[in-house]
C-alpha cells in the first residue's frame, strides 16, 4: 500500500472518529453509569397504514391491534392522516376533559372508562386532529409530591390529592424503590381519579438490581424532558435523575434551547424535576448534600432557568418539606411521599405534607401545604418493616403488625 493511500485511510478514520465523537458529545453522557443520553420519544408513527402524530402523548407498547397512547400533558392532541376507519385508546385523560375533533373525518364514539378514552371513527381525505380540552384552565388546583415508592403509599397520595381538590398530580420522582414498583406504580397511575405527570427520579433510573431503567420509563410513562402550558402557566419537566456532560447536551438541553422567555400566552413558568439545584440544609442527612452537584451542573441549570423566566421550582429527593429562595428561583421541596415522618414522630402527630398550587386568572400561582394524613394501613409493606428494624425502631413494627394483621 502506497503512502498516499495509507494517509487517506488514516485521515478517513480520524475524521470519522471525530464526527462520531462530536455526535456522541452533543448527545451527552450520563453518569453514574456512563451511558449516552437516550434518543427522545418519537412523535410520528405509522399504525395500520395511517400516519399518527402526537403532541403531549406517546404510544404505549402493546401486543394488540388497538393502538394505545398515554397523555403526558393535560391537553394532548393526536393527528391522524390516512383513510378508512380508526380506533385507539388514550390513557391519563382528565375525567371531565372534552374531545374536540378538527379536520376531515368523523368521530363515531368516545367511550370513557376512568382516565381512559377509547375513540372510534373514520378518516377523510385530509388529516383529522383530536384534541382534549381541560375542563377549567382559568381556575384549577394541582398537587406536587415525590418519593412515594410504588406501593400503597402512592395510592394514598393519589387519593389524597383528589380529596384536596387537585385536578392533577405532579409526581416529583422516585416511585421505584423495590422490585415490582414500576408495575405497581403504573397500575396506581392508571386507576387513579386524576391524571399524573411524572418527572424522572434517581431511583426510577437506577435501583438495587435494576440499572438503566430509562427505556422502561419512556416506554410506559413518557418523555424525560417536556413542557406543557395550561391557563397561562408553563410547566417544564426536566430530567435530573443523573448528571450529564456536557450540561447542555441531550434532550434536556434541546428542550431548554427550544423554549423561549417570551412565549405568547405564558405569564408564569414553573420547573419541576427530582433532584434540587441546591440542598439548603446546614447539616444534610448522612453528611452529603442531596442536590444535583455535578461539577457545576446545578448552577448552570439555575442560570438557564432564570434566563427563561422561571420563577418557581418544585423538587423531591429530600424526604422533607422545605421552601426557600434560591437567588430568584423560589424552591419547594416536597419529598414526604412515603410519610415515614408520621411513623417515627414520637409525639404521635402527623407531620407529612403535600404541596398544593392554586391557579387563578392573571395572578401568580399560590402555593400552600396540606397535611398528607396517610393512614397507618398504607404502610403495610415489608420494605418499611425492614427499614424500621435496621434503624433500631423495631418497636414501631408492633403497631404496624396489628394494623396489617401480621402474624
Q: For 313-331, write each residue's pLDDT tens digit.
A: 999 999 999 999 999 999 9
Q: Own/partner pairs for 330-333, CB < 8 Å, 24+ apart? A: 331/276, 331/277, 331/280, 332/144, 332/367, 333/276
Contacts of 273 (CB under 8 A, 6+ apart): 172, 173, 199, 237, 238, 239, 240, 313, 314, 315
State what percent of residues in the chain have pLDDT above 90: 67
Q: How far apart are CA 55 and CA 71, in angstroms?
A: 9
How many CB atoms are closer than 10 A to CB 275? 30
Higher pLDDT, 6 or 161: 161
The grid cell for 245 is 456532560
Q: Please tell me the distance from the alpha carbon of residue 248 to that of residue 256, in angstroms, as a whole number.
A: 8
State the pLDDT at residue 396. Answer: 76
Is the pLDDT confidence value at 117 over 60?
yes
Q: Is the dihedral of CA 342, 347, 349, 352 positive or negative?
A: negative
Q: Is the pLDDT of residue 293 over 70?
A: yes
Given a cut of 90, whether residue 347 has pLDDT beyond it is: no
What single DSSP character describes residue 244? E
Sign, Cα dihedral of 298, 305, 138, 91: negative
Residue 219 CA to residue 215 CA, distance in Å, equals 6
Q: Which residue has the cell 394501613?
A: 377
d(CA 207, CA 225): 21
Any residues with CB less than 8 A from the CB of 266 and at least 6 apart, and which?
Answer: 229, 232, 233, 234
Q: Say whether pLDDT at 348 is over 90.
A: no
Tens of pLDDT, residues 82-104? 999 999 999 999 999 999 999 99
What crossing angle do the helices spanning 181-191 and 152-163 adopt, rounded to 10°?
A: 20
- pLDDT of 39: 74
Task: Provide the pLDDT confidence category of residue 48 given band limits of 50, 70 and 90.
Answer: confident
pLDDT of amino acid 47: 74
Summarize pLDDT for 244-276 with one digit per residue, the tens: 999 999 999 999 999 999 899 999 999 999 999
Distance CA 129, CA 79 (A): 4
Helices (H) and strands (E) in the chain, counts: 10, 22
Confidence of residue 41 (pLDDT cuts 50, 70, 90): confident
pLDDT of res. 287: 63
Other beta carbons less than 10 A from residue 314's beta carbon:
26
Question: CA dihedral in degrees (208, 252, 353, 335; nearest 10)?
Answer: 30
Helix (H, G, I), strand (E, B) or coil at 293: coil
State the chain's mean pLDDT as an integer. Answer: 88
Is the pLDDT at 292 greater than 80? The verdict is yes
Amino acid at each position: 500500500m502506497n503512502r498516499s493511500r495509507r494517509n487517506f485511510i488514516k485521515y478517513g478514520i480520524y475524521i470519522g472518529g471525530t464526527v462520531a465523537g462530536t455526535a456522541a458529545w452533543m448527545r451527552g453522557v450520563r453518569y453514574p453509569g456512563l451511558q449516552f443520553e437516550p434518543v427522545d420519544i418519537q412523535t410520528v408513527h405509522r399504525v395500520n397504514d395511517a400516519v399518527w402524530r402526537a403532541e403531549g402523548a406517546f404510544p404505549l407498547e402493546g401486543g394488540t391491534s388497538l393502538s394505545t397512547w398515554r397523555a403526558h400533558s393535560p391537553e394532548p392532541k393526536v393527528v391522524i392522516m390516512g383513510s378508512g376507519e380508526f380506533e385507539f385508546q388514550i390513557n391519563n385523560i382528565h375525567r371531565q376533559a372534552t374531545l374536540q375533533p378538527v379536520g376531515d373525518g368523523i368521530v363515531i364514539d368516545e367511550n370513557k372508562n376512568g382516565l381512559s378514552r377509547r375513540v372510534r371513527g373514520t378518516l377523510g381525505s385530509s388529516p383529522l386532529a383530536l384534541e382534549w380540552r381541560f375542563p377549567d384552565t382559568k381556575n384549577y388546583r394541582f398537587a406536587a409530591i415525590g418519593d412515594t415508592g410504588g406501593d400503597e403509599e402512592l395510592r394514598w397520595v393519589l387519593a389524597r390529592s383528589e380529596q384536596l381538590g387537585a385536578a392533577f398530580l405532579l409526581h416529583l420522582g422516585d416511585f421505584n424503590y423495590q422490585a415490582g414498583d414500576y408495575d405497581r406504580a403504573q397500575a396506581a397511575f392508571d386507576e387513579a381519579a386524576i391524571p399524573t405527570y411524572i418527572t424522572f427520579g434517581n431511583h426510577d433510573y437506577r435501583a438495587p438490581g435494576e440499572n438503566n431503567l430509562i427505556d422502561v420509563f419512556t416506554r410506559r410513562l413518557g418523555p424525560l424532558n417536556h413542557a406543557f402550558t395550561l391557563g397561562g402557566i408553563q410547566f417544564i419537566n426536566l430530567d435530573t435523575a443523573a448528571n450529564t456532560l456536557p450540561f447542555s447536551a441531550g434532550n434536556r438541553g434541546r428542550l431548554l434551547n427550544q423554549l423561549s422567555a417570551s412565549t405568547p400566552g405564558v405569564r408564569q413558568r414553573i420547573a419541576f424535576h427530582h433532584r434540587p439545584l441546591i440542598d439548603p440544609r446546614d447539616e444534610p442527612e448522612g453528611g452529603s448534600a442531596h442536590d444535583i452537584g455535578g461539577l457545576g451542573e446545578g448552577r448552570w441549570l439555575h442560570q438557564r432557568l432564570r434566563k427563561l423566566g422561571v420563577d418557581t421550582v418544585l423538587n423531591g429527593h429530600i424526604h422533607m418539606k422545605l421552601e426557600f429562595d434560591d437567588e430568584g428561583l423560589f424552591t419547594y421541596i416536597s419529598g414526604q411521599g412515603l410519610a415515614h415522618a408520621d411513623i417515627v414522630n414520637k409525639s404521635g402527630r402527623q407531620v407529612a405534607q403535600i404541596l398544593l398550587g392554586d391557579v387563578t386568572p392573571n395572578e401568580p400561582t399560590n402555593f400552600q401545604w396540606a397535611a398528607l394524613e396517610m393512614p397507618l394501613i398504607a404502610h403495610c409493606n415489608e420494605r418499611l418493616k425492614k427499614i424500621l428494624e435496621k434503624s433500631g425502631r423495631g418497636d414501631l413494627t408492633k403497631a404496624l403488625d396489628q394494623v396489617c394483621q401480621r402474624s
